Amino acid sequence: MSGILPDPGASLLDRVKMSMVGLKMPRAIEMVDACVARLDRGEITALEAIEQILIEELSFRENRRIKTALVMARLSTLKTLSGFDFAFQPSLDKARIMALAELSFVGRCEAVHFLGPPGTGKSHLATAIGVEAIKAGKSVYFSTLADLIGALAKAEREGTLREKIRFFCRFSLLIVDEIGYLPVIAGGGNLFFQLVNARYEKGAMILTSNRGFAEWGEIFGDAVVATALLDRLLHHAIVVQIDGSSYRLRRHADLLPEHIRSKALITPPTPAPPRRRGRPLKNGAADLHAG
């Protein structure tokens, strides 16, 4: 083989294979012998053989793209909507969830909130919709709130906060999991606000929380920052309330104390009217009306 061109002295089949090597078509190379054999037996036409080889190669490349995108999105645990037990959570409207999986909210740069007690499927649904977004060719990034704020705090210490926020703004869909599970570090709420403000009306988000919106002041340690966050995150929002039992603990519910077994209802308050953008000041006063 001279350069990338097949050796003219080789057989026709070998020249085809060498061309496939040059075109980086590994799956097609694996398929070509079987397709030629079927062609020789008269089971398929030449055009059908070409179609089968191309379809196999395209499927291989698409699966490889999805696998790479899942790794880049940090979706290490693969969850799907088909694997979600909607029967176990009757409070969920399956049709509404399937509509979210059509991803129109991503194009509208909206925020989707999954609220409910631990174990009710919030992270599963967020991840599954993220997987659907990746399959549709959209860029996705998944992080817990603690890890996200940790990355922002590290960037701030290193003087690269602007670049890190710009990095998180590249993705069409940012998934922020486990809001309210761990305490937020000092100043973390302000860092998260800067990211949310940068993505506001520019990129979609999915957020999961076991706490109601009224408790966000406690979560972030600053009622002013929490108000500013909700001002953005509820302006173009879809709120999905899950009022149910823990799927993970379904087989051991009888072993739990009654106060844990009881449902923890999380009812979102009426969203505040949209306000203009502004960054909360570190002295506790938020300039919510600044341009």
106 and 232 fall within a common domain: yes
For residues 26 and 17, give the distance between their C-alpha atoms in angstroms, rounded to a whole number.
10
98 and 237 fall within a common domain: yes
For residues 146 and 123, give the distance between their C-alpha atoms in angstroms, rounded to a whole number.
15
CB 281 within 8 A of CB 289: no
Q: For residue 283, how many other CB atoms are within 10 A of its CB?
A: 7
223 and 189 fall within a common domain: yes
pTM over 0.75: yes
Q: Domain with 175 in it: what CATH number?
A: 3.40.50.300
Is 9 domain-assigned? Answer: no
CB 216 within 8 A of CB 259: no
Which of 68-72, 77-81, 256-260 bottoms out in mean pLDDT, i.e. has the lowest?
A: 256-260
| 141's tokens | 């990034």
With vertex at residue 169, the alpha carbon angle to CA 152 and CA 188, rounded to the nearest 5 degrees, is: 25
Predicted confidence (pLDDT) at residue 288 exceeds the cutoff of 50: no
150 and 203 fall within a common domain: yes
| 104's tokens | 């129109």
Reported as type and span, the H/E element at residue 141 is strand 140-144
160 and 55 fall within a common domain: no
Q: How many domains does the chain have?
A: 2
Give tens-digit pLDDT for 242-277: 986 665 545 444 544 555 444 444 444 444 454 545
Which of 20-24, 128-132, 155-159, 261-265 bottoms out in mean pLDDT, i.e. has the lowest?
A: 261-265
206 and 95 fall within a common domain: yes
Is 77 domain-assigned? Answer: no
255 and 183 fall within a common domain: yes
Is 278 domain-assigned? Answer: no
For residues 45 and 35, give the distance between their C-alpha atoms in angstroms, rounded to a whole number.
10
Is 57 domain-assigned? Answer: yes
- Which residue segment(s) compose the domain that 63 sits in? 15-71
31 and 143 fall within a common domain: no
Give tens-digit pLDDT for 196-235: 999 999 999 999 999 999 999 999 999 999 999 999 999 9
121 and 224 fall within a common domain: yes
54 and 144 fall within a common domain: no
111 and 233 fall within a common domain: yes
Is 78 domain-assigned? Answer: no
Is 210 domain-assigned? Answer: yes
For residues 224 and 288, give the distance between their C-alpha atoms in angstroms, rounded to a whole number.
9
Are β-strands 140-144 and 204-209 bridged in parallel, bridged antiparallel, or unpaired? unpaired
Is 124 domain-assigned? Answer: yes
Is 76 domain-assigned? Answer: no
